[in-house]
Each structure stands twice: as C-alpha cells, then as structure tokens.
Amino acid sequence: MFGTGKSNGVRSVDVDWRKLTGLLEATDQRAAVKQSFPDVGQESFMSALRRIDPPTASEVMTAGNAWQGATELVSYPVIAIAGMLNSGKTSLVSTFLSPQGRTRTLRGVGNAQGTHRFVLWLPQRWRSDPSLWDLLQERLAETFGHAPEALADSPEKAHRQYSNRDGGKDSLSIPLVATDPALDTAGVGLLDCPDIVSDEILGLGSPGDRRKVLGRASTLCSAFMVVASAEQCRDVTLGELMRIAGDLMPGVPRMLAINKVRSREQLPHQVFQTFQPMMRHHQVEAIFAAYDFDVASNAPFIPRGLHNSVAPPLEDGEDLPIFFKLSERADQNPPNGISTDRLLVSLPRKLDRGELFERFRAALASNVRTAIWDKGRERILQELSTQEERLRNARACMTKVGLDVFAQRGDGGGIERLRLHQNQRIVEQLTVTFANTAPWYARWSVGLSTKYRRVVGGAGDWFRKWLPTQALEDKAEALRGRLRRGDYGSLMTPEKLQTLIRQQAETHPLAHWEDNSPWSEACRTAIHRYDRDDFTALDPYELEEACRDMWSKVSWVEKGKLTSIPLLVLLTAFTAVLMLPLDMGATVLASASISELLAASGLTAAASIWAGGKTTSLVEQQAAKQQFVDLIAVLCDTFGIPRETKAPRIRIGKEDVKLPDPKIALRGPIGPTLAIRNWSDAFESDLRKMLDLPSNTPSR
C-alpha cells in the first residue's frame, strides 16, 4: 500500500526482487556458502539462513515481498496509529469516519482491558476494485501471517471483535478490516493498532510479541502516528514507540498526537515545548494536540466548528477529540483562529503522495538491505566462524589426545620425545636388528641364529618356545605388568581413549559430538583402524647404526666384566609388547619409546645410552612423528573432523619441530561430522551490487 505511483520523479533503483531471490536461493557457482567437507557442495544464502536462523530467514522473505508488494500498491497509503491504552487512538481514527462507521468502533467504555487487535480502516472505494482488494488482502495475509477478518457491520458484533472477547492470543495477528465511505475523500487507510500495555497480566501475548507484530504491521504504513494522552507524556513507552517506528521504517514520516490536554495545565505552545526534545530526537515531523472535550474551560481550544466543516460532522452528544497541528508560537495557536489545513483530518489531503511513496519505498528497500546484509549475512558469517572455531577446537582436542598417547614428558612437563607405537613391524625390526648387530658375547644364551625371525606373527608361540628359563618368563611377565599399569609407555584401550577425549574436550570442546553419539563404537574403531593401518617402519640403515652404537657403548661401559646385556633379555622386552593384546583380550595400542622399553625390562644402562644417543633418537623420532600425526588423522577421520591441511608444529625438547603429513589410509566417520563451509567472496560482491550498496560498506 501507500504512496502514489508517480512513475516520473521517483528514483528508479527499484530492485528486482525476483532477480535478488534468484541470487539468494542460488545453489550453483553463485551460491553464498561453499562446502568442502564432508562432501564438496554449495549452499544457498537462504537455505543456510533457514538452517541457522529461521526467523531471520522469514524476515528476509517478508521484507522482500513487502518491498515488491509496495510497488503494486503505491497509490494506497495507510497511516499507522499506535499508542498506549486509553490514549485515544480509536477516537482519533473515528474523527475520520462516517457516523455509521463511528458506531462500529469500540472506544473507552467496555474497553477497560484494551484492544488486542489490529483494525484496518480503508476507503470504501478500494473495495470496489476486486483486483486491488485481492492484492490488499494478500499483502495483509503475508504481513500478519494470517488472512484478515472482516469487521462486522453490526456495532455489537464489531465491538466484540474489537475487544477480542471471543478470540485468543493468536487473534493479535489476525487483522480486522473495515471500509468506510468517509475515507474516500481522505484517500488513505488508517491502522488502529492494539494498545501497548506495559505488562503481561492480560495473558494476551507479551508486550514483546505485540511490538513484534506492530513492527510487521508498520511495514504496511507510509506514515506513523503515535498517540499519547497528556498525562502519558513522561511514559518511556512513547519514546520506545518512536524508536520502533524509526528502526522498522526508517525515513517514513513520524507524527505525534497528544490527547486530553487541559488548558489550565498547558497552553498549546507549552505542549509543543514539552515534546520538542522528543520531536528532535526522533525526527518527528509534526505534533498535533487535542484538548479534553469533557472540560468546559477547554472549549476555546477545541476547533469544533472547523472540524465539522471539513470532516464528517460530530452528532449532538457525540464527543471526539479534535486534533490540530501545534505551532511553536503562542499567537498562532487556539484560542486564536487557525485554518482548516491545521486540522489532523486535513492531513491526508495535504500529504505529498509522491514524496510519501518515495520515502515508503526507500524504507522498505532499506528493510530489505538490513534483513539481508546486516542480519542474514551477519548470522551466516557468525555461524561460519563458530564452525571454524569448533573445527579448531576439535582438531586441538585430537592433537592433545595424540600427545597424551605419544608424548614422553620430562619432569617439567615439557615433551622430551615422542613414543613409538610398537606395531608388529617395528617390533620385528627391533628384534632383527638388535639380534643381527649383537656381539658374540651377548648371544651366549640364545641359540637364535636364524630362528628369531619366527618371532613375527606369533609372539605367544615364540615365548613358549624360546623362553628357556623361569627367570626370563618372570621377567617378561613383570615387564608386561609394568606396561599394563602404565609405569612405562602408554597403553590405549577404547575405554581409555574415550576418557582421554572427554578430558581434553573440556578445554577443547568436541561440539558436534553429543552424549548420545556413538562414543564406544568410534573409540573401538579408531584403535582398530590405527592398529591395522599403521605400517610405519624405522629407517633400516639408521636403525642398524643406532643398534651397533648402543651395543658398543653397553660393552664399553661394562667392559671390565665383559658380561654385557644378554640378547635374550633384550628381545624379551620387545616381544613382550606384542603379547599385550593377548593379555588384555582387547584391541590395545601400546606405545613406548625404545628407552622406556629397555628401562621397563630393567636394562637401565641400555635405556640411558639409547635415550642419550643422537643416532638412536633420530631414527626413533622420525618414525614416532609419523605415527603421531597418523594417530591424529585416524582420530579425526573417525570422529568426523576434517584432517588438518597444513602440518602442525610442536615443541619437542628445545626444538620447534615440524610434523610430517599423515600417511595413514583415509577412512569414513563413525557418527557426527563437522562440515567445512566457507563464505563465497564472489557471492558477496554479487550481493553488494544487487543491493546497490556502496563499495565502502563494511564487509567481513
């Protein structure tokens, strides 16, 4: 509705809403959001917004449709009349109506509980054009979310509708519509808004709800008038209503009507002075006043005869407030004579339709921009950055868990070295290489020659066959005991993994996993996958060198006696690790540094030599770093977190170490996933162009 459709003179930057919705709904290359995980794809602006914030999504659509609709209803302005209970809104509307129409309004009496309906009074003429009438009904239904209801012709029924005696809370959003021939001359519609009450005692929707509906209704109106009785002038609601009007329909004319003024208390120019600050603050264009008709001494201030000459005359005994435009100057107000064009009832004829429409259209266009750019886009960007934050946290959580497993920490808590996952391949390598490089005197107890190769693939068998003494068997048992207790290295079972993840998630939340997500299954799967897919091996040449180095030092340290570490004891240490899953009857990841293994077997001298050597730590750390990033990768895969794209760095000892890229096979998630979505810059610049936003509008 509203404003005249002067095709010339009106800036023709009208947005093509259909084209704009095309962009907002685009799911192709032009889409607003690009997803790269778990699948590659696009999401449109609107579907992202509907997912994230449905109310804002519908606000965008409503604003767009209102804008589009406005261009079709340009010649049909409506003025919103809002204010508090008993301020005289309905009385004000009535001054425009025919005597018959006045009887259908509900004023004061019987109205003690306030009006909870929007009542739209339209010129009778508008109804005679069926296509216009349909358009109006459509637009009303869209604005309020409900089809309008006709106001009954019979005063009694109409009053019941006004006071909502038969309806519930929802009737707030079912507008009543009536037409009146007297409005044909005015050529405007008047929207009598529900009373703004300052509490919820009526049980008919919270004040917040009312304001929301009022906001929606205001998008129908090309001017906004706030009515207040003189004694309500200090009420904060007044300013708030002005603010709502300004926020919701920026640029649309706002006016103030002060009712029930008493001449003994305030003369017209004093009323003007009282409201002048508010007028400036809220860019109120005009202040009207009406003196209390029940007070005899007010008579000189009520331009009654004047009113009857331009508006439907008041019948005898019928009293309605008669509003006139206040002047700043005392001598230009009643009791001095004023002209009819100062009367509020003359306002519609004086409104500049072209300007009214342009401001109305601009307000609606600005609502569209605000809804799309400031609200919708902001919400999506906010969501995307929350998502990014979640991703950072989830990855950090898994990295910390990886460290819990792999980091061997010093007394100060710093990471001294990374442990090795003692996979079968590594245990085999260690066994073979230590045996191959062992000096003759270390082999005395073992007839191993070539048979040690059978170790691999059958740790249990091997032990049964090759542990020749009870003493060694006890040693192996003791070692396994220490590993199981966690005195050395780390043993990871599904249960322990779950505990670790949950612990780390306290500081780095795994937001996409809920309590009822498949935790146990995922933890079991992660351990199983890692155990199966980790094929990391030690560098064979460097390992051999490291082993030789160690043997020579062990022998050197103990050379006085020439009794060195028996090879068998050493091999016991390595192979005991492989038996752990058998012991524990579960999938378990054993990780321990080589020196931890040696120490756990009681080979302290060997342990410290290994730990202190440069070659030894080099060969070990190379494999350990790979295993560490691979474990994080498996945890990420399993918990639906996209793997890190650039290798992280960690501090080991005094060095800042760059980690390698994971090599372990990529596998699917067990349970919820965390998507990677990004805002499209191309979309942003398309949108900016379509909304006709200057290029210096703040972007992300």
Ligand X SMILES: Nc1nc2c(ncn2[C@@H]2O[C@H](COP(=O)(O)OP(=O)(O)O)[C@@H](O)[C@H]2O)c(=O)[nH]1
Q: Which residues bind ligand X (CB under 6 A)?
A: 83, 85-91, 107-109, 111, 195, 259-260, 290, 292-294, 321
CA distance 297 to 529: 94
Tell which positions 60-99 bind Mg ion, by CB under 5 A.
89-90
Residue 655: both structure tokens together: 């060095």
Residue type, 564: S
Binding partner of residue 26 among ligand X, Mg ion, none, CB under 5 to 8 Å per kind? none
Helix (H/G/I), strand (E/B), else coil: 419: coil
* Cα 518–Cα 674–Cα 531 angle in degrees, nearest 5: 55
Q: Which stretch binds Mg ion (CB under 5 A): 109-117, 366-374, 530-538, 628-636?
A: 109-117
Nearest distance in Å: CB 102, Mg ion: 13
CA distance 309 to 22: 53
- Cβ–Cβ < 8 Å for 417, 614: no
* Cα 624–Cα 627–Cα 631 angle in degrees, nearest 5: 140
Give the per-residue SS3 of 445-464.
CCCCCCHHHHHCCCHHHHHH
Please identify, using beta-carbon distances, which residue of 290 and 592 lies nearer to Mg ion.
290
HSE of 662 in the Cβ direction (CA atoms, 13 Å)? 25
Binding partner of residue 361 among ligand X, Mg ion, none, CB under 5 to 8 Å per kind? none
Binding partner of residue 587 among Mg ion, ligand X, none, CB under 5 to 8 Å per kind? none
The neighbouring-strand residues paired with 255 are: 225, 286
Nearest distance in Å: CB 92, ligand X: 7
Greatest Cα pair distance, the chain, in angstroms, is 132
Please identify, using beta-carbon distances, which residue of 89 and 104 lies nearer to Mg ion.
89
Nearest distance in Å: CB 115, Mg ion: 4
Cα of first residue to Cα of last residue in the chain, in angstroms, is 36
Q: Which residues contact 260 (CB under 8 A, 6 or more apart)?
A: 88, 229, 230, 231, 290, 291, 292, 321
CA distance 499 to 503: 6
Binding partner of residue 108 among ligand X, Mg ion, none, CB under 5 to 8 Å per kind? ligand X
Nearest distance in Å: CB 167, Mg ion: 16
Residue 5: both structure tokens together: 């459709």
Instruction: Tell whether residue 115 is a contact of Mg ion (CB under 5 A).
Output: yes
* Cα 31–Cα 34–Cα 36 angle in degrees, nearest 5: 155
Nearest distance in Å: CB 309, ligand X: 20
Please identify, using beta-carbon distances, which residue of 80 and 607 lies nearer to Mg ion.
80
Nearest distance in Å: CB 2, ligand X: 22
Please identify, using beta-carbon distances, which residue of 318 and 681 lies nearer to ligand X.
318
Sign of CA dihedral 177, 182, 184, 188: negative
Nearest distance in Å: CB 86, ligand X: 4
Please identify, using beta-carbon distances, which residue of 107 and 482 lies nearer to ligand X.
107
Binding partner of residue 259 among Mg ion, ligand X, none, CB under 5 to 8 Å per kind? ligand X
Instruction: Tell whether residue 237 is a contact of Mg ion (CB under 5 A).
Output: no
Give the CB-nearest residue to ligand X.
108
CA distance 512 to 520: 16
Location of structure tokens 């085999």:
428
In whole angstroms, what separates CA 369 from the centre of its chain?
A: 19
Please identify, using beta-carbon distances, which residue of 108 and 481 lies nearer to ligand X.
108
Q: What is the CA radius of gyration of the chain?
A: 41
- Cβ–Cβ < 8 Å for 321, 260: yes
Give the CB-nearest residue to Mg ion.
90
How many residues sit close enough to Mg ion to count as binding (CB under 5 A)? 3
Binding partner of residue 87 among ligand X, Mg ion, none, CB under 5 to 8 Å per kind? ligand X
Helix (H/G/I), strand (E/B), else coil: 121: strand
CA distance 189 to 393: 56
Please identify, using beta-carbon distances, which residue of 115 and 638 lies nearer to Mg ion.
115
Nearest distance in Å: CB 119, Mg ion: 8
Binding partner of residue 95 among Mg ion, ligand X, none, CB under 5 to 8 Å per kind? none
Please identify, using beta-carbon distances, which residue of 292 and 630 lies nearer to ligand X.
292
Nearest distance in Å: CB 190, Mg ion: 12
Please identify, using beta-carbon distances, which residue of 232 and 591 lies nearer to ligand X.
232
Nearest distance in Å: CB 111, ligand X: 5
Please identify, using beta-carbon distances, which residue of 319 and 416 lies nearer to ligand X.
319
Q: Which residues bind Mg ion (CB under 5 A)?
A: 89-90, 115
